[in-house]
Amino acid sequence: MSASPLAGKRVVLGVTGGIAAYKAIEILRRLVDAGAHVVPIMTDAAQHFVGATTLSALASEPVQTKLWNNPTTAIPHTKVGQGADLIIVAPATAKSIAAYRMGYSHDLLQNTLIATRAPVVLCPAMHTEMWEHPSVVDNVATLRKRGVQIVEPEYGRLAGGDTGAGRLADPATILDIAERVVGPADLTGVRVVVSAGGTREPIDAVRVIANRSSGKQGYAVATEAVARGAEVTLVSTVGLPTPAGVQVIAVESAAEMQEAMERAAINHDVIVMAAAVADFRPVHAASGKIKKGDGVPEIVLQQTPDILAGIGARKRNDHVLVGFAAETANLVDNAKEKLERKRLDLIVANDVSASGVGFAHDTNAVTLLRPDAKPVEIDLATKREVARAIINAVVDIRNAR
């Protein structure tokens, strides 16, 4: 299993004095879990909101807070900045953003930011009025022009109980962007469309025929693709959080999925059909609710179109077409048959009856099959790790051409 792009990287995590400082603990944990060597720096104000002991216990090194009298080096601002592969500031307050823009090196974090050539990811968090103030808007725009990666704050409930833009981005989003910054940009300029979730076929105005697909694996594939530089469109039936940088097209039924995917296939280079599309739908759907008192209804079913086979029949030579096979028996044989019949370049097969695999789980175990290569088994892993293996295979296929 390929590791996260953050594995082995030296990441400085700067924490400034905002109420969202408590979320830095979760960001730190995710960075360490990804294999990064994390060096935390806290401003004096940050220590009013979260304890240095907590971050020290979770990080790779003890928290650094002082520009002077540092036991590790006489010039911490230079050494820390020079040794970093990436610097993340989360949360970044209005004050810290202004100081960074001006080059006002009054504390260890600001000195480190000025003394580094590493990429910087800035994660603002503040009240809406502050975030929208012209001075903050101007400071952020200037830093963005200088190449600083800005993780836009989210809309939501803020510290004072009010609601608006300014909430610190979700830690998962921050990690995704950090991986994108340090990771391989091997899909730059490539257009990728991914389908996700299970379709719902109406019986009446209330009831549907559906399946157990959560859409998590498709979203993980979309997240990995955009992290590798791709322009990603996600055709989805579920309401999971949208990965940063991904365009979502919401659909519900197999017919809507077919229309969206066939339209997208025309101008995308990689097509990943991760959605669980219903094989059958009612011939007729009642416009209102079927009442129980009217007796048991007779529901006549018809087959839905095979979206992936249709795209495969018309695919260009430069297309990479990826399908999924959720099976409960004869995994490899069934997957090979679909691989050939649907003219796929790659199929991802999983046994959804196995423990921790497939629908609704955060983990998956799959077998990757290609027409001219030996099957590759991916043991139980997170769906993001499985997505990384899928995108690695897609990159290999493209490079081989």
State the residue for tokens 């498709």: 218
Q: How many whole angstroms separate alpha carbon 378 and alpha carbon 392?
A: 13
Report the candidate in 166, 91, 157 with the shortest Cα–Cα distance to residue 123: 91
Question: Which pLDDT band holds residue 73 (cuts at 50, 70, 90)?
Answer: low
Strand arrangement of the beta sheet that strand 346-351 belongs to? 246-250, 231-236, 191-196, 270-273, 320-327, 346-351, 363-370, 373-382
Q: For residue range 87-134, what is the model confidence (pLDDT) as tens digits?
A: 999 999 999 999 999 999 999 999 999 999 999 999 999 999 999 999
Residue in 70, 139, 211, 334 annotated catalytic: 211
Buried b vs exposed e over 103-136: b needs ≥16 C-beta within 10 Å? eebebbbbbbbebbebbbbbbbbbbbebbeeeeb
pLDDT at 70: 63
Q: How far is CA 400 from the centre of its chain?
A: 27
Q: What is each CA distance from 101 to 83, 109, 175, 371, in whole angstroms?
A: 22, 13, 24, 53
Is 317 known to be catalytic?
A: no
pTM: 0.86
DSSP 342: T
- In angstroms, the CA 391 to CA 371 distance is 17
* Structure-block tokens of residue 49: 């909101």
Cβ atoms within 10 Å of 62's Cβ, excluding its own: 15
Rounded CA separation 230/218 (Å): 15
Residue 68: pLDDT above 80?
Answer: no
Tens digits of residue pLDDT in 185-228: 999 999 999 999 999 999 999 999 999 999 999 999 999 999 99
* Contact yes or no for 240/217 (Cβ under 8 A): no
How far is Cα 120 from Cα 148, in angstroms, rounded to an integer?
5
DSSP H helical segments within 241-299, as ranges?
254-267
**What phi and psi values does residue 191 have, to the nearest 5 degrees?**
-100, 125
Give the model's pLDDT for residue 128.
96
Question: Residues near 208 by Cβ (< 8 Å), separated by ≥ 6?
Answer: 200, 201, 202
> What domains sit in the chain, N to C, each tagged with a CATH number?
10-182 (3.40.50.1950), 191-400 (3.40.50.10300)
Q: Which helix (H) or strand (E) holds 318?
A: none
Q: Which residues contact 122 (CB under 8 A, 6 or more apart)?
A: 89, 92, 97, 100, 140, 143, 148, 149, 150, 151
Beta partners for 347? 323, 369
Which amino acid, 182? V
pLDDT in tens, 318-342: 999 999 998 888 999 999 999 999 9
- Return the pLDDT at 74: 60
CA-to-CA separations, 324 to 141, 163, 247, 286, in angstroms, rounded: 42, 41, 22, 32
Which tokens in the block code for residue 303? 């087959």
- pLDDT of res. 110: 96
